[in-house]
Chains A and B, each alone.
Chain A
Amino acid sequence: MTSAALRSRAWKLLELVTTPLLPSDYLDLVSPLRSGADLRGRIEAVHRETDDAATIVIKPGKGWRGHVAGQYVRVGIDVDGVRLWRAYSVTSPTNRADGRITITVKAIPDGKVSNHLVRKAKPGTVIQLDQATGEFVLPAAKPAKVLYLTAGSGITPAMGMLRDSRLADVVMVHSAPRKEDVIFRNDLHDLVADEALKLVELHTDTDGMLDVAELEKLVPDWAERETWACGPAGLLDAAEAHWAEHGIAERLHTERFRPTVVVAGEGGEVTFGKTGKTVEADGATPLLNVGEEAGVLMPSGCRMGICFGCVTPLKSGAVRDLRTGEITQAEDSPTAHVLVQTCVSAAAGPCELER
């Protein structure tokens, strides 16, 4: 018998001893970061970056498979006793010697998780993690000329890339309201002093908002650069239009932190079949939020329609995609269920989800 088979036998035997619990329920009490456990991490330090932003140093569990610079990680943290999940860009380099990762969080008004992480997170807290994911990364074949077009907390994935690999010709155009609001300002200026970065730092309170059409004045060779843009929807929309206008849309990579909700319609009664709960929902609230409010265990992810961590079978009725207004109907069959993204779908009349 191989050692793996032997181990799985032993594990089965252990399960007979611990039933109805699992051996891991006991192991989690003493060793939540061990290999084989659900992926978790421990907060080791919280460093203030600006008045409303902080970098969280996390020791990931043994199961952590690493990340690619620019990717984000989903973090589940208990705020006022309630487990909430959010996605944050990894801001540490992939080759950090101590194996820790960092995320950098900006507290947004009314943001439950961001405010908690920036102001209340304590070293020693165990949090839930997912493997890093995301397409907003540097390609393996590093481009010769790079532009990072960022604003506010949109700097975080770019910082992950900047710290990870030193490229020959990198320009960053970064906007923040004031000098003291610029996250990583010292690190950026260190890179400039090192000649690893050319930086255009805009303070929108005094300089006004960046007009993307005027980008040429700041970065004359912008069109030749492979560009990564991250920031508020307004900036990204303008950038996408500008790059498309010049016929070089393929050179622009964007990452959005929030979905652009365009359509809302009539809501309806939402039934969560497994939990046996029925609640009234309006046509603008994502089903994910509706379920969470009702105490239903809803899987969740990026909360903006990109990661598919929240998909749930739609058993009956119809839902509306909040980004496009598109209506999805349940299949007229008891077995073939349509999967819907609950974070960007709202009820469009009565519907039933399998949760």
Chain B
Amino acid sequence: MTAIDPTAHLTDEQIEELGRELDAIRDEVIASRGEKDAAYIRKVISVQRKLELTSRGILLFSLFPPAWIIGTAGLSVAKIMDNMEIGHNILHGQWDWMRDPKIHSTTWEWDHVSPAEQWKHSHNELHHTYTNVIGKDNDLGYGIMRVDEDQKWHPMHLGQPLWNFINACFFEYGIAAYDLELGKNLHKRRRNNPEFRARARAVGRKIRKQVLKDYVIHPLLSGPSFLTTLAATFTANLVRNLWSHSVIMCGHFPEGVQTFERRSIKGETRGQWYLRQMMGSANISGSKAMHFMTGNLSHQIEHHLFPDLPSNRYAEVAVKVKALFEKYELDYVTGPLPKQVFSAWHKVFRLSLPNRKPKVKAPAKDKELVAA
């Protein structure tokens, strides 16, 4: 929540009209989904698989520095493609309309330690429904950081630049812990809850398989290149983690993104829900390649408005959405990747300390200020 509500100039009728216009954009894409889109995702999947296989093949000879560099770079890109443009979007159900059981949100599994099933719940159901609602959307700081003035400060937040950096390096584990709601569930009473234990076991199995593949089997297959391949897969996972962490931070943390109070979403209409998604997300501007590598999450605003539209269509949707922001005089938060990453990190540093000055909005404190 910022001091001034940037949507205050809109009447209820205008908000509903905005909702209808967004519905029309959505309907247009759905009506025109077809063979080209299907060919796109199949091509991306095919390229990713060939790239991963080739890179792992090259890494069998990772003792030779050029092989290590090419293999590690290829594997990093393959892992990023798997998680972002492919995994994230398929698990959103963006490709369910193809009715292909091999490319479907209920059957897909990704190269990630959090099992698809659990991630879908915490991400699709919780984060996308309660986007940026303080106390409801745990993506706001992942429960370990304070990324909005209205989140209560705690001395633990002093260390949040460090927590954020560690989380970035081991992001997939951070997400697995987050999907398990580990912080909440490790309290004694919940630890023995059979449902939690079953989910924890599923995560354990997934971690075991992932670790075995990346850090045991693949290095062993490399024979004399055991150690260098181990270092390569570790590096590829690290690169993937840092990259996806940066992209995801840019989605909701940069300056200018709005947050919302719990009570503000009671009885929310379709138009109001759309408006919250518009004000609660930020885009990244850049080249086609950049959009692709972010899994089109650079079109975060469009993704939050229409989480289940195929990602290859967000670019064309963005043009129309941006026109609506202008029509309704709303601020379309966007910027190049370095600027947005800096903005998000700046917030992480700034909010590690308690709020410096009282908020303008809070009337009680205003009075104090006057009195002082």
- Give the interface of A toward B (CB within 8 A): 13, 16-17, 19-21, 25-26, 29, 78, 80-84, 274-276, 292, 295-298
Contact = CB atoms under 8 A, between A and B. Distances in A.
B136 interface: no
Contact of B98 (A20, A29, A83, A275): A83
A26 B50 CA distance: 8
A43 to B, nearest CB: 16
A275 B106 contact: yes
A297 B33 contact: no
B348 to A, nearest CB: 31
Contact of B107 (A29, A81, A297): A297
A16 B209 contact: yes
Given A26-B53, A29-B49, A19 B96 contact: no
A322 to B, nearest CB: 22
A82 B97 contact: yes
A20 B212 CA distance: 11
Contacts of A13: 217
5 contacts: A17-B217, A17-B221, A19-B210, A21-B109, A26-B49
A298 B101 CA distance: 9
B357 interface: no
Given A16-B217, A20-B111, A81-B98, 10 more contacts: A20-B209, A20-B210, A26-B53, A78-B98, A80-B33, A81-B37, A82-B97, A295-B97, A296-B96, A297-B106
B213 interface: yes
Number of contact residues on B: which range applies?
Answer: 35 or more
Closest 10 CB pairs of A and B: A81-B38, A295-B96, A20-B109, A83-B99, A80-B34, A19-B209, A81-B35, A81-B34, A83-B100, A295-B97
B54 to A, nearest CB: 11
Given A19-B213, A82-B99, A274 B35 contact: no
Contacts of B217: 13, 16-17
Interface in B60-104: 93, 96-102, 104
Given A16-B212, A17-B221, A19-B213, A297 B37 contact: no
A21 B38 CA distance: 20
Nearest to B107: A297
B218 interface: yes
A292 B101 CA distance: 12
A9 to B, nearest CB: 14
A101 B111 CA distance: 39
A16 B217 CA distance: 8
A17 B35 contact: no
